[in-house]
Amino acid sequence: MRIATWNVNSITARLPRLLAWLESSGTDVLCLQEAKTTAEQFPVDALRELGYESAVNATGRWNGVALLSRVGLEDVVKGLPGGPGYEGVEEPRAVSATCGPVRVWSVYVPNGREVGHPHYEYKLQWFEALRAAVAQDAAGGRPFAVLGDYNVAPTDDDVWDLTVFEGSTHVTPAEREALAALRGTGLQDVVPRPLKYDHPYTYWDYRQLAFPKNRGMRIDLVYGNEPFAKAVTDAYVDREERKGKGASDHAPVVVDLDV
């Protein structure tokens, strides 16, 4: 079984690449983030033609998450139970479902903007709500994983140059402590480092030739419980999908399971 996560940075802009990638990659379940569309405009029919069911939590221009599955899609939950709102709005940042033998979440953690900003506090509150929401499944006996754009680099090695991010979000102790608390529910990072290269970054800014210079960050993560982690047979970042015209600024992260 092949499960992946990908921040597509607008499914409308990325649809041809997405459809081609699904066909070529053999992915069974894909967690999408930053759909940047409404549920009504989501390309359900085009995906169904490829054999994928869709569970979508999206409301407009910003944010938006989805789960695509060709192995079943049951017990769908849209939104983060008990999650905070921002400026009075519950943003569409989470969706979960059972896909065959595995329970998965697709999450798009708030960016945080800058340290001390209300959005930064919202980010930490969102992490705490996520920890509480997944704790029972994380400690259970069924393979379970939370995949997505976490907007946090877990360690100093997960950014190309720590000095560039000094004093910024994504690398602060509070954000990394929130990640550690999430792992404390029984989850672990199932994508090993190093992979086939020293720095398996997943995100590169569009500006200043960041991708050709490999000035990236590893912020797209796959956190699985013990049954999920034990089933992992391979994992990789599909850097090729970050190349070329019309690419997202994130690359897909792919995990193979023997379940």
Is residue 241 a known part of a binding site? Answer: no
Active site residue 117: no
Catalytic residue check, 120: no
Q: What percent helix, strand, coil does the chain show, rounded to 5? A: 25, 30, 45
214 carries a ligand binding annotation: no
What residue ranges in 24-131 does DSSP mark as E strands? Answer: 29-33, 53-57, 65-69, 74-78, 94-99, 102-108
Query: What does the alpha-carbon distance between residue 138 and residue 65 come to, in Å, rounded to a whole number?
Result: 21
Report the phi/psi class of residue 13: left, alpha or beta, with left for phi > 0 and alpha for psi in -120 to 50: alpha
- The active-site residue out of 158, 170, 220, 250 is 250
* Alpha-carbon torsion (154, 86, 90, 140), positive or negative: positive
Are the C-beta atoms of residues 200 and 191 closer than 8 Å to each other? yes
DSSP 8-state secondary structure symbol assigned to residue 240: G
Q: Is 45 part of any known ligand binding site? A: no
- Residue 87 among known ligand-binding residues: no
d(CA 198, CA 205): 19
Given 108, 120, 201, 203, which residue is catalytic?
A: 108
Residue 229 Cα distances to 17, 139, 190, 207, angstroms: 29, 13, 6, 35
Cα separation values, 220 from 3, 107, 154, 193, 250, Å: 13, 10, 10, 14, 8
For residue 34, say whether it is annotated as part of any ligand binding site.
Answer: yes
- Candidate list 28, 137, 149, 158, residue with the active-site label: 149
The reply to whether 250 belongs to the active site is yes
- Binding residues, by number, are 7, 34, 149, 151, 249-250
- Catalytic residue numbers, as ranges: 108, 149, 250
- Binding residues for Mg(2+), by number, are 7, 34, 149, 151, 249-250
